[in-house]
Amino acid sequence: MRLRNLLVGSLLLVSAGCGGAQTSRATTVANACDELEPSVRSAAVFDAPLTVVSAERVYTDNPKPFMRDPRGIAVDVRAEPGMDQPYLHRVVTCRIGATDGRTQVAVHPRGPVYRVTVTSDDPSTARDLFAQLDVLQADR
């Protein structure tokens, strides 16, 4: 649990940015966090009330043969009673602190689960997401 929280903290540092374009993104994240209870805000990205069913790495195919660039992670989260797509998006956006404009969070319903995809154009951030996924899978 501590390692996961450290990874989330380091991911927040990597994701944090400065400048005009990022300010509106940071405001969006802050607003997402303001709407959540403090206990929900402070948890690691995929801790309660989120129940992870499956998770995988996301790659972008490179034009070079057999090359795939790291892009992020895709996590299937069980749809708990009362949980909807906007709420889940707020929780993940708040917890991951996607303020750099290069980290995106998408949530799509898939039957009894939601597919949460967190991607980044920055290879370093994508590798940090991979590390977070490894910790998540080790804890299950």
12-55 pLDDT, tens digit each: 333 333 334 444 555 656 677 887 888 888 888 888 888 899 99
Q: What are the start-end ranges of the E strands in 25-112?
A: 52-61, 68-78, 103-110
Kindly indicate the confidence band of residue 140, based on its pLDDT and cuts at 50, 70 and 90.
Answer: low
Q: What is the mean pLDDT of the chain?
A: 77
- Stretch 125-140: mean pLDDT: 84
As a whole-number percent, the residues of the chain with pLDDT over 90 amount to 26
User: Rg of the chain over CA atoms, in angstroms?
Assistant: 15
Q: Residue 10: name the closest of 56, 51, 44, 38 by CA.
A: 44
Identify the pLDDT of residue 121. Answer: 87
CA distances from 47 to 4, 17, 70, 71, 115 (A): 10, 25, 24, 22, 15
Q: Which pTM was predicted?
A: 0.73
